[in-house]
Amino acid sequence: MKNTALTDTHIKAGAKMVPFAGYNMPVQYVGINAEHETVRKAVGVFDVSHMGEFILKGENALDLIQRVTSNDASKLYDGKVQYSCLPNEDGGIVDDLLVYRIDEKTYMLVVNASNIEKDWEWISKYNTNGVEMKNISDRTSLLAIQGPKAAEALQSLTEVDLVSMEYYTFKKGTFAGVDNVLISATGYTGAGGFEIYFENEHANHIWDAIFKAGEPFGIKPIGLGARDTLRLEMGFCLYGNDIDDTTSPLEAGLGWVTKFNKEFTNAEALQAQKQAGLSRKLVGFEMIDRGIPRHDYAIVDADGNNIGKVTSGTQSPSLQKAIGMGYVDNAFAKEGTEIYISIRDNKIKARIVKPPFYKAS
């Protein structure tokens, strides 16, 4: 099992460590609900150094990205980030990812930890025009500083004007005295904030500097447990749960990152699927009756007929009610439709709602 550069720091801080995507990761420090609330109301720090980073460089870098990703990366400009996915050849998704345009010929792709090797091989297969590819995952640390007080908590550490940074943009600059840190106005929580990328050797120094600067703002370390509840309240997909090699980006509600104005892997088949209409859709739902929906629980209709399955579910700390996501037959996908989750052979009533479940006031 791999460690991040900060594993010992997490253990000393009393984190409960678990195996995740081949890494030894902190799942919680003081408790998921308390950590979740810290991010929604103040500011928290996640070590997400297990994520993968690839650099693609050269005259044909954009062309390669255009061929393997579903979104239109030609719309990117220097300092802009784009959410996208890697479609496979069978109608499913190899991975979802972020594409960073560093300059006209240089891009960084950020991929899920569990898919680093798979994604590398997939992109390499299409690299027929000599694009220089570097996998910098093992030497790159990544911290997500999330919450409404993130900009205030971090501003003393950098000359980059954090407050004025637009969502899904990034800048390179000095951070906590370290040069060439990539500061990105992105995140997976819906609470605002930043993700910062830097070389492993600076990890402990940067971690300590963030906590010192953030102390007046109530900054706390946050584990992967709260990361999951935060992303689910926003209706963000998690690879391996809500999307995978068998789910089409259109079924998953990712039509907005599936652009048919260019050629990409399996574009023709996906366009045909769009025109023919979908047989199932990924939906959000909230429980009406008591019960917590869990991954892979069956979704049934009033007569007990199977109409789908739960992909993600939890008791929402912000909303104090159980919520979930899952695929259902298209006839049941309309907002307001009543469905039932099969929990220990009992039909527990739920209602289709449109994510995000949590809306910041």
Annotated binding site for substrate: 195
- φ, ψ at 188 (rounded to 5°): -125, 25
Annotated binding site: 195
Query: What single DSSP character describes residue 134?
Result: E
Which of these, 310, 248, 249, lies nearest to 84 by C-alpha position? Answer: 249
Whether the CB-CB separation of 86 and 97 falls below 8 Å is answered with: yes
Which of these, 117, 156, 155, lies nearest to 137 by C-alpha position? Answer: 117
Residues 6+ apart with CB under 8 A from 123: 54, 56, 64, 68, 86, 109, 133
Cα-trace Rg, the chain: 21
Which of these, 163, 161, 147, 283, lies nearest to 218 by C-alpha position? Answer: 147
